Each structure stands twice: as structure tokens, then as C-alpha cells.
Amino acid sequence: MKVRFQADADLNQIIVKATLRLEPAIDFQTAQAAGLAGLEDPDVLSLAAEQGRILVSHDRKTMPVHFGQFIVSENSPGVLIVSQKLSVSHVVEDLLLIWLASEPDEWVNCLRSLPL
């Protein structure tokens, strides 16, 4: 099984579009498709976990705290915090590398920052 991604509402949507354009087989759900607009971080983490998707977010301020609280009682497929200073192409390359070279169980309850 391949890694699946969930874009947070704050993620630059160009990242999602560029990733899917480069590799259409990647399962990368937009925040809009998941209905994440207006949801609090714990709810976003819960929805991503229910669907087995690694959450991809720019939210370096509050997401790590909520993630830490979330994994105390539930498992998470993981969270990737993307620096807003990175170019879209660099982010897409990292996401593609994760998709190609790792398995979903390698990311369970992991919080990582991009760049790798």
C-alpha cells in the first residue's frame, strides 16, 4: 500500500496540483474535498487518521501541539509540516520521494518537517 496525503486547509493548493500533475497516481486529497474548511486542528487530525492519510500542513505554530495531544490517545498516519520558504518544486520532490520510497507504517505517529 502506498502513502496517502491529506492537504490541510492552510496548505498552498499549488503544491497539491503540482504533485498530482507530476504523478497522477498519488492519492493526495485536497482540503476542499475533505471538507476541512473551518475545522479545528484536532478535528483535522481525526479526519486524516480515519482515512489513513498523512496530513500535509504549513501550520508550524499550532499543529505540532495538537498532534502531540492527539497521539496520546489515538494513532495518526503522520503529519508533514512544510516550510513556506520552500519552493513548490522542492516540496513536490520531497512528497514524491516519500510516496515512492516509503510505506505508510513508517510514518505512524511521526511529525516531520520538509525539507527532509
Could you tell me the three cell numbers for 116? Answer: 527532509
Question: How confident is the model at residue 22, as a pLDDT?
Answer: 96
Could you tell me the three cell numbers for 46? Answer: 481525526
Question: How confident is the model at residue 47, as a pLDDT?
Answer: 97
- List pLDDT tens digits, range 48-105: 999 999 999 999 999 999 999 999 999 999 999 999 999 999 999 999 999 999 999 9
CATH of the domain at 36: 3.40.50
Distance CA 46, CA 66 (A): 11
Length of the chain: 116
Number of structural domains, the chain?
Answer: 1
Question: How confident is the model at residue 102, as a pLDDT?
Answer: 97
Domain housing 32: 4-114
- List pLDDT tens digits, range 10-27: 999 999 999 999 999 999
Residue 116 has pLDDT above 90, yes or no: no
48 contacts 22 by C-beta, under 8 angstroms = no
Distance CA 106, CA 80 (A): 13
